[in-house]
Amino acid sequence: MSSVTFYVKILKALDEIGAPYMIVGAFGGYAFGISRTTYDIDILVDLRPQDFEAFSQHFPLPRYYADPEMMRSSTEMGIMFNIIDTNEGLKADLVPLRRDLEYQVAFGRRIRREFTDPSGSSFEAWIANPTDIIIGKLRAWDEGRSSKHPNDIYSILVFDLSGYSDITVDIETVSSEAAHIGAETLEMWKQLVERAKSEVTKRK
């Protein structure tokens, strides 16, 4: 089982029990122009009291580690928890939804998209809006300065400005959030927007 197949199994389990979730990061951005071959698959979950046991039943011992009490405790503390496939040595990280207004707003803007799994079968999943994917990547860049985040943001912007996306990036909202994060982040964002506009203009 590949890591992507493992994550698809988790997404399908969340859908089956009706637990609210949202894919964030590069995998979510695949639908909006991110084209690199390696993806971080980050899942934001809003598990309710009835979900812990129901979710864990999809990943039974001894192959899987998915302790419902661990999930419950991690959710109450607002910290990440894991689902582990001990046969394959795979681990999936799930992050409880924070109650901050900005996270609630982003979760409320999530959208449903169709993907293809490694076996070629299609499936649907909830992903973040491209505006919120960019905001998340700006925050991640501010924390670690990894070049993958500006590169991903640039890809989303070019895809959107070229008219390929059915959901437009809200430049004003992103600019406001970038300014809130910090001056360097805002400047980096502005440069990416100008680069993307220039690239799209050259292609016309």
pLDDT of amino acid 116: 85
Percentage with pLDDT > 70 across the chain = 98
Overall average pLDDT of the 158-180 stretch:
97
Query: Is a pLDDT exceeding 90 seen at residue 191?
Result: yes
- The encoded tokens of residue 89 equal 């040595």
- The encoded tokens of residue 144 equal 């670690």
pLDDT band at 195 (very low <50, low <70, confident <90, very high): very high
Question: Chain-wide mean pLDDT for the chain?
Answer: 93
Structural domains of the chain ordered from first start = 3-127 (3.30.460), 130-203 (no CATH)
Contact between residue 188 and residue 141 where contact means Cβ atoms under 8 Å apart: yes
Query: Is a pLDDT exceeding 70 seen at residue 107?
Result: yes
- The encoded tokens of residue 149 equal 């985040």
| CB-based burial label for 108 (10 Å; 0-12, 13-18, 19+) | exposed
Overall average pLDDT of the 9-15 stretch:
96
Whole-number Å distance between alpha carbons of 58 and 9: 9
Question: Collapsing DSSP states into helix, strand and coil, what is residue 99?
Answer: coil
Q: What is the pLDDT of residues 68-106, one digit of tens each?
A: 999 999 999 999 999 999 999 999 999 999 888 888 999
Query: Is a pLDDT exceeding 80 seen at residue 204?
Result: no
Q: What is the pLDDT of residues 110-144, one digit of tens each?
A: 999 998 888 899 999 999 999 999 999 999 999 99
pLDDT of amino acid 26: 82
Q: Tell me which of 21-30, 32-41, 176-185, 188-197 is least confident.
A: 32-41
pTM: 0.89
Between 158 and 3, residue with greater pLDDT: 158
CA-nearest of 147, 170, 164, 167 to 203 is 164
Q: What is the pLDDT of residues 20-40, one digit of tens each?
A: 999 988 888 888 998 776 666
pLDDT of amino acid 193: 98
Phi-psi region of 2 (alpha: psi -120 to 50; beta: other; left: phi over 0): beta
Own/partner pairs, 145-150, CB within 8 angstroms, 24+ separation = 148/26, 148/36, 150/188, 150/192
- The encoded tokens of residue 138 equal 């700006």
